[in-house]
Amino acid sequence: MKNKKIYLLLLIILIIIIPIICFINIKSFKVQNFKEYIEIPYNTNYKENSGNVCFGNRFKCSSVKVSSTGTIDTKKIGEYTLTYTYTYKKKSLTKKQTIKVIDNLAPTITVEDIDLVGCPNKTNLTIPVKAYDEYDGDLTDKVTQTIENNQIIFAVKDTSGNEATLIKDLTYLDNESPSITLNGNRTMYVPLNGNYTELGAKATDNCDEDIKITTTGEVNTKLPGEYKITYQATDSSNNTASVVRKIYVYAKNSYNTPSGKSIYLTFDDGPGPYTGKLLDILKKYEVPATFFVTNQALTKGYDNMILRAYNEGHTIGLHTNTHNYSIYQNADTYFADLYAIQDKVKRITGYTSTIIRFPGGSSNTISENYDGGNKIMSELALAVEAKGFRYFDWNVSSGDAGGTTNTAQVVKNITSSLGNGSTYVVLQHDIKGFSVNAVEEVIVYGLSKGYTFRALTMDSPTVHHRINN
């Protein structure tokens, strides 16, 4: 009986305790913190994440070897698989991990930082907007814009469906004036009793398509004068613009019927590359002028212009042979230079010129640098007259030897100096193209205002500066 109980007890121990002991002692891979699915934004580093894995039982768990296969391109969105193999002695376990590289960044929309102003009569407007997505790149083409009341809404989506919107305030306003373009020249020259044809003008506007132009002013081609036609354009928001065209109605140069107001155009320092063009203009208007010529290096090759000017009735005056101010050392050096240019002119034209202009004018003080304090200009002013020359300065400066470097300013400098006086001697330089380009307008201005253009002669009124040295 007692033995039976012992057997029974042993049996119970075998049936219950041993399996428990065995169960407790089962060795296997223990996996913790392993993620089968991971999402990461593109362009971020992915560190392999194999979890915590060991092999053993609850009392003792040994570390295992891990190896992995598979690659991830974090620059490219998509799903990637990594396979981890854990080994312990000859046992192994394989687990797969899915990594999804995603784009979760919305694009950015940028609008130039300007006030968004739309035309009052338009609902659509072009705005310089840009869109950029870190993953897709430039998305400017995909931007939509919606105008609601006084706001404009820009929207764009990237290929991953991330959306961006930008709202800007919008103003309907037009404060930009139309712009007017004249057909034909802004300054026109019409001979007396000739035809003036109104060529009109065109106007464009930022908001309006049809802009009407009103024209005011008249041209009387039967009366010499300076006329103005004003073209005015107004847009639907009442912004106006106007442009003026100047028309000179000019009489022929009344050389034989003196008006009492004379202009003597004089050109120093040439001849040069623009002298031919100048002679063409003078010929067109039958205007005689005076050329104070030189023999400095830049005149080389233009001797024929001296002959042409002489043959076409212009006065050939003497300026200087060298145009080097060292000629002012003394009277001898001055006259040596003067006779050299006189000889040259005579050689070319057969004419002995005695009409002169001092380099720098009679009022120059640059001669002080050379004359050793001997007041050379005071001496020369008397000496040249004693030798039968006449010298001429000027009372109208074109400014072309100084700060003036454009044609319009040369015209302005000259025409604004003309008044009701009887003698205007204008200084220009025919070696300056921009100055030569001003001559035509100066001539028609003068003719339209009743001046007579003349060339200097030995009998012309004297224009002398105050002598300063």
Q: In the complex, which residues of this chain contact Zn ion (CB under 5 A)?
A: 268-269
Give whichever of 237 and 363 is closer to Zn ion, judged by the CB atom.
Answer: 363
What single-letter DSSP state applies at residue 142?
Answer: G
* Shortest distance, position 230 Cβ to Zn ion, whole Å: 41
- Asked whether 315 and 455 are in contact (CB, 8 A), the reply is yes
Closest CA to 92 of 60, 62, 65, 61: 65
* Shortest distance, position 437 Cβ to Zn ion, whole Å: 20
Give whichever of 86 and 292 is closer to Zn ion, judged by the CB atom.
Answer: 292
Q: What is the DSSP track for 51-85?
A: -EEEEE-SS-EEE-EEEEE----TTS-EEEEEEEE
* Shortest distance, position 231 Cβ to Zn ion, whole Å: 42
* Shortest distance, position 328 Cβ to Zn ion, whole Å: 13
* Shortest distance, position 310 Cβ to Zn ion, whole Å: 20
Give whichever of 268 and 400 is closer to Zn ion, judged by the CB atom.
Answer: 268
Q: Tell me how far apart the alpha carbons of residues 444 and 340 are, in angstroms, rounded to a whole number.
A: 36
Give whichever of 269 and 430 is closer to Zn ion, judged by the CB atom.
Answer: 269
- Burial of 252 from C-beta contacts in 10 A (0-12 / 13-18 / 19+): middle
* Shortest distance, position 329 Cβ to Zn ion, whole Å: 18
What are the CA-CA distances from residue 359 to residues 273, 317, 338, 363, 397 (Å)? 21, 12, 11, 10, 15
Give whichever of 269 and 440 is closer to Zn ion, judged by the CB atom.
Answer: 269
* Shortest distance, position 322 Cβ to Zn ion, whole Å: 11
Please state whether the peptide bond connecting residue 224 to the residue before it is cis, i.e. omega within 30 degrees of 0: no
Q: Tell me how far apart the alpha carbons of residues 168 and 186 are, in angstroms, rounded to a whole number.
A: 43
Give whichever of 145 and 290 is closer to Zn ion, judged by the CB atom.
Answer: 290
* Shortest distance, position 424 Cβ to Zn ion, whole Å: 19
Q: Which residues contact 364 (CB under 8 A, 6 or more apart)?
A: 358, 377, 468, 469
Closest CA to 223 of 245, 197, 251: 251
Give whichever of 284 and 300 is closer to Zn ion, judged by the CB atom.
Answer: 300
Q: Are strands 137-138 and 129-133 parallel, antiparallel or unpaired?
A: antiparallel
Nearest residue to the partner Zn ion, using Cβ:
268
Q: Tell me how far apart the alpha carbons of residues 407 and 398 are, in angstroms, rounded to a whole number.
A: 10
Give whichever of 162 and 320 is closer to Zn ion, judged by the CB atom.
Answer: 320
What single-letter DSSP state applies at residue 461?
Answer: P
